[in-house]
Chain A
């Protein structure tokens, strides 16, 4: 079980940095707490004592939710359920609802935060590939010489390995920013041992924009998790498809190379097969949701993969 001597709930960023300075070396930041509580149990970390827990989920900067000027700003404490019940958000980030519905379950999505999912840096995180596909950037905040400063980096550079990120010891991930992609269609494919509440064995996130002809890819963004130490974009496939006309053949060609990315510790053959199928399925579903002509893909092909 998880024990602590003090549980702090700062209500401003300044208070949070005060707490971090006062308890340097003996604190841990908490947001949704849905990872840390199951982690501190028998079979994983066991009984864990952390002297000070600093709960940052109530800080206003971490609860920003704004779609404006072609950009989306999401406070790090944004709960995953918002992608399912906030229509503005869903329209601007068309992949996120499909990711969210596969993320844990309805109850946990009301607690779990996007920032927590990114900082936790699980190789199989569901939120990370989806936000990677959305070209997310992360805003990291710290206090230097009494002044709160920020730095921003692409999410693709944030995770460095399992449970490791670029976040410095004195920093808080405060915000995630993405370009709004209202014309894209999104899709998220996931497999695990069961439907709800399961860690991905493999998940693939896709965003597709179709040009005015209704037949060509204007843009393709693909990301995958569960096949290596960190979730990653599938840039080669993206480039191979952009501006091309949508067809069963071009999708199959593109997907054939997907399995080469598999670098997991276990079940590589299985994952290679799944990734190929998921890339096909995600591209078909995202393309159709982006308004692709339904004539381009045969019914048999769709039935087989989507």
Chain B
């Protein structure tokens, strides 16, 4: 395989490197030049974290073969602040709080830099269009747009340079003040290293062999061909676990790698450490696993029926956790109600899609401490679990939390750290695993899909008298955070309403689907969706304003929740008032609204989706602009 010689100018310096002929510009920049401010969020041109300038134009380096960079002038995010001083744009990102997890930010800074270079007077709408190829999952984009607008104005003299400085804060008065994030400079400059950016001398690369079956018995695993491949240092399977093999947030039902059987498509079966990623991947493909397919179960209601395939022997009914709550007499109350609304709601599985795919580095230090560096959202729990798994005392296990490039609950589970620890112990070398985006989506926890059967009873005046709700959630193949999610769903599911008669059942169920776990709002979202939809339907049927029916039933200061928690201060009233105002709500029952909407075209109402900011100065005008 002839190497490709790349001579280029990178951030003003001439470089010359030999790379694989199929290397991408992204690999060249990150692996050969160790410029890790350029990130790989997806590897497929979707997310924009890998944006770099080539001969002055911004491209996505994951879609550019390195060979195209021969002789080119390349500028990466590290090149923007070469003098050591942040660029105006970077300072603006710092000022407005545009960076949160920070993983998308180098790409955002690059796209914004390109926008202002292309058009120094770029309009607010054009900024949004020019950043269209970059995805952020934390900010909702507002702070990012604010930053670009600020930088544009400062560069054009429309706002003074002092606008980039931190606002003055009265001594000690930080609540309500606009303060800059301490970690922002490292994020806007690309200097911050996430786990996948971290390298150690002699580091090996890890690839994981995953299950193609949703439910199958593992008859045999033959790793000999993989181990014989030159460059391979170790292969591990569940047989390499020295201690008690099991982890999970509530119940330790998940082995480090599949043990005896696989329970979902994508479950780790074996892992390889080799001198480079490609060798590790090729070796993983050489592992021969004989599976014997088992009947699989994909629907949680079906899974609870007698005779359904059993996912875990310890739970023959496939129930991971059932949380029941009872208050008052629901059946009696429903019978007395003027209106009973009964519906079944279903919500879908959702991926967190943090911009940073899972990654981790593990090594055994000079004192024999097994050390794992990863963006874990739950390191203390992980440390204790790993100590049992590898049968070492707690002082011989260390977890380092690397910057989390977005988590949203999805990085609470120890799904790969165990494999890394085993490989570090077996090879005596640092080992690193970086998930591909596809691997991240296929194998990590999701938001629980839920089926919610709901009955609400109302009196004619809008009073909510009783709720009976039963939520069956697909927890997938392993427990992860299912128990907690069921608890939270049960506590919050009936909404912020004062209800005397309540019956709640939230049930997490094992299936052979991708495991469900923690995800922002942690179970409350699914039930809230059902609760609030029931409220809207009730408003329509009773001829009440949707805000009004909520005000009639909302908890007030001093309320006691159905789980017996006394609430000193309840803010829903204020929330409803603000929401009603912000939405320019037209009062009345939903059924009273006609075809026309008075709020369209008014101040604060948004335009329809369009991509025309760059054509505003085109010679031909549209009728809209003439009319307006």
Sample of 30 A–B contacts (CB below 8 Å): A1-B278, A3-B20, A4-B22, A5-B1, A6-B1, A9-B68, A33-B68, A37-B44, A37-B62, A37-B65, A38-B63, A42-B438, A85-B118, A97-B615, A98-B615, A105-B132, A106-B58, A106-B133, A107-B58, A107-B59, A107-B111, A108-B63, A111-B59, A185-B620, A195-B611, A196-B133, A288-B621, A289-B620, A291-B620, A297-B623
A9-B623 in contact (CB<8A): no
**Which of B45-53, B175-183, B324-332, B484-492 lines the interface with chain A?**
B45-53
Q: For the complex, what is the distance from the CA of A33 to the CA of B69, rounded to whole Å?
A: 13
Partner of A197, one of B130, B133, B278: B133
Sorting the interface of chain B by its residue count into under 10, 10 to 19, 20 to 34 or 35 or more gives: 35 or more
A101-B65 in contact (CB<8A): no
B67 proximal to A (CB < 8 A): yes
B48-A4 in contact (CB<8A): no
B624 proximal to A (CB < 8 A): yes
B22-A2 in contact (CB<8A): yes
In the bound complex, residues from chain A placing their C-beta under 8 Å from that of B129 are: 101, 106, 196
Q: Which residues of A contact B (CB under 8 A)?
A: 1-7, 9, 30, 32-34, 37-38, 41-43, 47, 53, 55, 57, 81, 84-85, 97-98, 101-102, 104-108, 110-111, 185, 195-197, 285, 288-291, 294, 297, 299, 302, 306
With most chain B CB atoms within 10 A of its CB, the pick from A38, A102, A185, A299 is: A38
In the bound complex, residues from chain B placing their C-beta under 8 Å from that of A106 are: 58, 111, 114-115, 129-130, 132-133
B62-89 interface with A by 8 A CB criterion: 62-65, 67-68, 70
B620-A33 in contact (CB<8A): no
Mostly helix, strand, loop or mixed at chain B's interface? mixed
B45-A288 in contact (CB<8A): no
Closest chain A residue, CB of each to CB of B438: A42
B622 proximal to A (CB < 8 A): yes
A41-B44 in contact (CB<8A): yes
B18-69 interface with A by 8 A CB criterion: 20-22, 24, 43-46, 48, 51, 57-60, 62-65, 67-68
Closest chain B residue, CB of each to CB of A290: B620
In the bound complex, residues from chain B placing their C-beta under 8 Å from that of A97 are: 614-615
Q: For the complex, what is the distance from the CA of A185 to the CA of B620, rounded to whole Å?
A: 9
Minimal beta-carbon separation of A30 from chain B (angstroms): 7
Q: For the complex, what is the distance from the CA of A101 to the CA of B132, rounded to whole Å?
A: 11
B65-A7 in contact (CB<8A): yes
B132-A37 in contact (CB<8A): no
Minimal beta-carbon separation of B517 from chain A (angstroms): 22
Q: For the complex, what is the distance from the CA of A84 to the CA of B617, rounded to whole Å?
A: 13
In the bound complex, residues from chain A placing their C-beta under 8 Å from that of B20 are: 3
B187 proximal to A (CB < 8 A): no
Contact flag A299-B623 (CB < 8 Å), given A41-B44, A97-B615, A101-B611: yes
B586-628 interface with A by 8 A CB criterion: 609, 611-612, 614-615, 618, 620-624, 626-627
A53-B133 in contact (CB<8A): no
In the bound complex, residues from chain B placing their C-beta under 8 Å from that of A55 are: 65, 67-68
Partner of B4, one of A7, A41, A81, A195: A7
Partner of B22, one of A7, A102, A285, A291: A7
B281 proximal to A (CB < 8 A): yes
B2 proximal to A (CB < 8 A): yes
Q: For the complex, what is the distance from the CA of A236 to the CA of B58, rounded to whole Å?
A: 42
B439 proximal to A (CB < 8 A): yes
With most chain A CB atoms within 10 A of its CB, the pick from B43, B45, B129, B133 is: B45
In the bound complex, residues from chain A placing their C-beta under 8 Å from that of B626 are: 294
B436 proximal to A (CB < 8 A): yes
B129-173 interface with A by 8 A CB criterion: 129-130, 132-133
A110-B22 in contact (CB<8A): no
With most chain B CB atoms within 10 A of its CB, the pick from A38, A43, A57, A105 is: A105
Q: For the complex, what is the distance from the CA of A111 to the CA of B72, rounded to whole Å?
A: 14
Partner of B48, one of A30, A107, A111, A294: A107
In the bound complex, residues from chain A placing their C-beta under 8 Å from that of B21 are: 4-7, 53
Minimal beta-carbon separation of A97 from chain B (angstroms): 7
Other than A9-B68, A297-B623, give 15 A-B pairs with Cβ distance below 8 A.
Answer: A5-B21, A33-B64, A33-B65, A55-B65, A97-B615, A101-B614, A102-B611, A106-B114, A107-B60, A107-B133, A108-B63, A110-B58, A111-B59, A111-B60, A290-B620
With most chain A CB atoms within 10 A of its CB, the pick from B442, B614, B620 is: B620
Contact flag A37-B620 (CB < 8 Å), given A106-B130, A106-B133: no
Partner of A195, one of B114, B118, B442, B609: B609
**Closest A-B pairs by Cβ, 8 of them:** A105-B133, A196-B132, A38-B44, A7-B21, A42-B438, A289-B620, A110-B57, A7-B67
A42-B436 in contact (CB<8A): yes
A110-B132 in contact (CB<8A): no
B45-A197 in contact (CB<8A): yes
Minimal beta-carbon separation of A114 from chain B (angstroms): 16
Q: For the complex, what is the distance from the CA of A43 to the CA of B440, rounded to whole Å?
A: 13
Closest chain B residue, CB of each to CB of A185: B620
With most chain A CB atoms within 10 A of its CB, the pick from B60, B281, B624 is: B60
B609-A111 in contact (CB<8A): no
With most chain A CB atoms within 10 A of its CB, the pick from B46, B114, B626 is: B46
Cβ proximity bits B432-454 to A, threshold 8 Å, 1 near / 0 not: 00001011001000000000000
Partner of B438, one of A7, A41, A110: A41
In the bound complex, residues from chain B placing their C-beta under 8 Å from that of A196 are: 129, 132-133
In the bound complex, residues from chain B placing their C-beta under 8 Å from that of A306 are: 622-624
A107-B623 in contact (CB<8A): no
In the bound complex, residues from chain B placing their C-beta under 8 Å from that of A289 are: 618, 620, 622
With most chain B CB atoms within 10 A of its CB, the pick from A107, A195, A297 is: A107
Closest chain B residue, CB of each to CB of A109: B133
B63-A33 in contact (CB<8A): yes
B622-A104 in contact (CB<8A): no
Q: For the complex, what is the distance from the CA of A299 to the CA of B43, rounded to whole Å?
A: 46
Q: For the complex, what is the distance from the CA of A85 to the CA of B118, rounded to whole Å?
A: 9
Partner of A111, one of B64, B118, B278: B64
Closest chain B residue, CB of each to CB of A190: B611
In the bound complex, residues from chain B placing their C-beta under 8 Å from that of A7 are: 4, 21-22, 65, 67
In the bound complex, residues from chain A placing their C-beta under 8 Å from that of B621 are: 288
Q: For the complex, what is the distance from the CA of A185 to the CA of B621, rounded to whole Å?
A: 11
